[in-house]
Amino acid sequence: TGEAFFSLYPNPATDGVLIQFNGEIPLSGIKAEITNLNGHIIKKAILHPDDLRIPTTDLKPGIYIVSIVLNEKVFSRKLIIR
């Protein structure tokens, strides 16, 4: 299911968050977006299987949504920045 597709570690995070896929890691074209709770895109990243970390030092403390776009599907998880 979409809920179990990936997780975030550590969460809460301070300087970066690692995307952990629960199963097979996609080979390429992993698009990630971090949005605030108002839906505004704060950060975009293209992830590669050998580097699934997103730096978060530029994010203010608060609650964000991390969305992974893969094969036209969107999977989302809540991220807390301290």
Q: Cα dihedral angle (16, 20, 21, 23), rounded to 10 degrees?
A: 170
pLDDT for 69 equals: 84
pLDDT given for residue 1 in this prediction: 39
Rounded CA-CA distance 26/48 in Å is: 8
pLDDT, tens digit, 9 for 90 and up, residues 2-53: 455 899 999 999 999 999 888 777 777 789 999 999 999 999 999 888 888 9
Q: What is the mean pLDDT of residues 68-73?
A: 82
**d(C-alpha 35, C-alpha 1), whole Å:** 22
Report if pTM > 0.85: yes
